[in-house]
Every structure is written in structure tokens, then in C-alpha cells.
Amino acid sequence: MKLQSLRGFRDILPDEAERWQRITDAARAVAAGFGYRQIHLPMLESTELFKRSVGEATDIVEKEMFSFLDRDKTHMSLRPEGTASCVRAGIEHGLLHNQQQRFWYAGPMFRHERPQAGRYRQFHQFGIEAFGMADPACDIEVIALSAALWRALGLGGLTLEINSLGSPECRAAYRDQLRDFLRGRADALDEDARKRIETNPLRVLDSKHPDTRAAIADAPSMEAAMDDDSRAHFGAVCEGLEALGIEWKLNSNLVRGLDYYTHTVFEWTTDRLGAQGTVCAGGRYDGLVAQLGGGDVPAVGFALGIERVALLLAQDQADAAGEMPQVYLCWHGD
């Protein structure tokens, strides 16, 4: 039998490893410049951590986690994302109570997805998390950090899409409105969307299925369900980004795939990677620390996919190589 890597897992060969090093070096430097410190997190966690944080009705928990029982009959999972682990570590070590913290982390994550370009079952992320700051200025800071990283890498052609999910109360009210709307359109939705009506209706807004997209074109908007404080928070974020010269566009269907988000959510996207257009994504998750047993600690962060950024850099490098001379003629002596 020929031995080779498992499906969805791959080797990073020297040429690509150099690009990866460039990304992580730039990310480390930019994060340090914004006052973020590194935290190392374990790759294995209790499965319950992700059920309680990411949400049992999400695709990650329902379909994608690598979970198993160890010899002691402990339910554990390879981490599918970094935020939950970062929150768990902050609570466990007393780092979040009445404190402001800024962390960054990098490393492999694991999801049992269908492999395609820039999307593997072992993939790698660089992430940042900021705790203890409810002000919209922190949302702006996190997005500004990501924009600074693109500049450091010389990476252009990315689009910032933003939206607001409002407070938890607004989100809950909107979820009920949207569920009622979707029940009336159930026959026109694809199978996955129909399953989500009762469990996670906001995820239907993010569907790429053409029939579902057409059926929800006139769905009620999140903006109509937001209270004055939520509108003020989002307005301040938009104004702050404009003041920094960071261009953005509103995407009312942007909801993110994880249950813990509130208020600001955002994605940096590209049209150069086919279906996998999201390069970096994040937002605010003010209720997650309390949900995992900590106090009422506001938080905001993002994670970027190193594989996807590396693909973009490889394209830029190939374009630049095509413009370079292939022969050098040197004058040596008489």
C-alpha cells in the first residue's frame, strides 16, 4: 500500500512554508504593535466547550468536529476554532475578571469538511481576541489591525463587509420574526435551510443556494429589530472606520456561522479564491465569557485563514514573476 497523507490533510513544502513564515512574521509584528500578546492553546479540548460556545445547532458541532472518547471515557475534540479555547483559558487562569486583555494565537484547527482550494480538514489560523472593552472603539481597533496586516503583506483586492446582529435581546427577537417568515417559505428552501428554520434560522440568510437566495430576498431585516443602543454602537463603528480611511460595505445577510456573535460582525472577502471567498472574519461576542462560566465580560476578535492568505500571496508572486526578466546579462571586466 502506498502511504500518503489523509484526505484533507497535507504537507507544507518549502516554497509555501516561506510564504507562511512571511504571513506569521507580519501578523506577529502587527499584533505586537497594537498591544496584543501571544497565548498558546491546546489542540484538544472538552467537547462540551464547543457545544456550549459554538452552539449545538451549528454545522461545526453537528457535522464537522473530530470528536472521540479517550481511554478514561472523556469526550474530547480537536479544536475547530480558537475563540472558545481562548475564553476558557482566560476564565481558568483568572485573566478576565475586571481586566482588559489583548491576546493573539496561531496554529492548526480541525473540521471534517469537504476539501477544496484553501479549505482543508487541518487548517491554520491566526486569531486575535480583546476582552473587557465594550466601547465600539475596540471593534474599530480589531478591524484596523486586520487592515494593517494587509498593508504589511502588500495584499490588495480585499473587501471589508460588515453588519450588526444587535444585542442578544434584539437577536432573539429577530430570530423569532425570521423563523415565522421562513416557515411560510419552507417549500421554496433547500433541504439544509429547511432544517435550520427551527434550530438556527439566521444561518439561512447566509445560504448560497440559488433557490433559497430567491426565496429570502424579501426577508425581514435585522436593522428593523435593533434597539437604539445597538444602532448607536454600529453607527459609531461605521464612522470610526470612515475616519481611518478603511472602506467597507454593508452586508445585511452577514450573520457568521457561530452562535456567540452579537453587535458587529465582519468579513474580509476576495473574488480570487472561487467559492472560498472569506479570508478573515470576526466580530463581537459579549455574552460568551458568561456563557462559559465567567463574568459579564465584553469581547471582540477575528481569525484569518493562513492557507487562504498564502494562496493570495502565491498569486501575487506569480503575477510579479511574469513581469520579471528571465535572463540577466552581466558585464565582467573588459
How many CA atoms does the CB half-sphere of 117 hold within 13 Å? Answer: 12
Angle, helices 136-153 vs 14-33, to 10°: value is: 140
Helices (H), 116-227: 136-153, 168-184, 191-199, 210-215, 222-225
> What percent of the chain clears pLDDT 90, i.e. is strictly above it?
58
More confident residue, 310 or 205: 310
DSSP 207-225: ---HHHHHHTTTPPPHHHH
CATH number of the domain residue 236 falls in: 3.30.930.10
Distances (CA, A) of 80 to 1, 57, 123, 143: 31, 15, 9, 22
Whether residue 5 is predicted with pLDDT greater than 70 in this model: the reply is: yes
- Please, which pLDDT band fits residue 220 given cuts at 50, 70 and 90? confident
Q: What is the mean pLDDT of residues 40-45?
A: 96
Q: What is the mean pLDDT of residues 44-56?
A: 86
- Please, which pLDDT band fits residue 56 given cuts at 50, 70 and 90? low
Q: Is residue 131 part of a domain?
A: yes
Whether residue 45 is predicted with pLDDT greater than 70 in this model: the reply is: yes
More confident residue, 116 or 310: 310
Q: Is residue 259 part of a domain?
A: yes
Q: Return the C-alpha cell found at 145.
A: 489591525
Q: Is residue 4 part of a domain?
A: no
Whether residue 59 is predicted with pLDDT greater than 80 in this model: the reply is: no
Q: Provide the terminal-to-terminal Cα distance of the chain, rounded to the nearest Å.
A: 61
CA distance 54 to 61: 7
Q: Is residue 198 part of a domain?
A: no
Q: What angle do CA 226, 296, 91 make, to 5 degrees?
A: 135
User: What is the span of the domain harbouring residue 58?
Assistant: 14-167+226-321
Whether residue 79 is predicted with pLDDT greater than 70 in this model: the reply is: yes
CA distance 297 to 254: 24
- Please, which pLDDT band fits residue 58 given cuts at 50, 70 and 90? low
Q: Is residue 82 part of a domain?
A: yes
Q: Is residue 276 part of a domain?
A: yes
Q: What is the mean pLDDT of residues 277-295?
A: 92
Q: Return the C-alpha cell found at 185.
A: 417559505
Q: Is 39 exposed, middle or buried (0-12, 13-18, 19+ CB in 10 A)?
A: buried
In one letter, which amino acid is 189?
Answer: L
Q: Is residue 9 part of a domain?
A: no
Q: Is residue 56 part of a domain?
A: yes
Q: What angle do CA 202, 292, 83 make, to 5 degrees?
A: 65
Q: How many domains does the chain have?
A: 1
Q: What is the mean pLDDT of residues 34-60?
A: 87
Q: Is 158 exposed, middle or buried (0-12, 13-18, 19+ CB in 10 A)?
A: buried
Stretch among 29-33, 222-226, 244-248 having the lowest mean pLDDT: 222-226
Whether residue 295 is predicted with pLDDT greater than 80 in this model: the reply is: yes
